[in-house]
Chain A
Amino acid sequence: MSIREQLKEVIENNEIILFMKGTPDFPQCGFSGRTAQILRACDVKFASVDVLADHSVREGIKQYSNWPTVPQLYVRGEFIGGCDIMTELYESGELEKILKPEAAAGNG
């Protein structure tokens, strides 16, 4: 299975997945750390992939989304963005709606 297919599978098998440098508990880059913090602030369960552990993942994910940097967030198979966009979405409250659509729908 090609790296692309492996990425597609892991992205589609996890509702919320963050590709980052390091892990949420031990981020290896400020931007990656920030995105993990944002997801924790939104109080959602998420999977994370340490791209530093595997060079083919680190390069493959950039091709996959046509996005040259990490971190990268995917929700229900859709590429949401990097640290910049996640911060903007979080500050505007849109990120919570993306992460928890059922909750957003609930309160009208």
Chain B
Amino acid sequence: MTVTPEDIRRWLSAGLEGSQVTVSGDGRHFEARIVHPGFAGKSRVQRHQMVYGVLGDRMKSEIHALSMKTLAPDEI
């Protein structure tokens, strides 16, 4: 089952409440843009770890690479 950008968008929106998520990608490499209130005051690494936390084991097998833009609402 190959992962689609829509899958990732759905997982991230569900896992990061109140976030706006757009995802594009080719089935193995994905780019996501995520605006989330919970990112405010967090470092880049912490933000990315939050996203990886939501994706959990899917990151191990199905998603080879996920590039991310992680923004707090006031950083748009």
Contact = CB atoms under 8 A, between A and B. Distances in A.
> Are A and B associated in one complex?
yes
Interface residues of B, number: 12
Interface of B: 44-45, 48-49, 52, 55, 59-60, 65-68
Place the interface of chain A in its size category. 10 to 19
Interface in A31-85: 31, 66-69, 79-85
B48 A84 contact: yes
Contact residues of B: prevailing secondary structure: helix
A82 B24 CA distance: 19
Contact of B45 (A31, A68, A69, A85): A85
Contacts of A83: 67
A88 B45 CA distance: 12
Given A68-B60, A69-B59, A81 B48 contact: yes
Interface of A: 31, 66-69, 79-85, 88-89
Contacts of B45: 67, 79-81, 85
A85 B48 contact: yes
Residue from the set A68, A81, A89 with the largest chain B CB neighbour count within 10 Å = A68
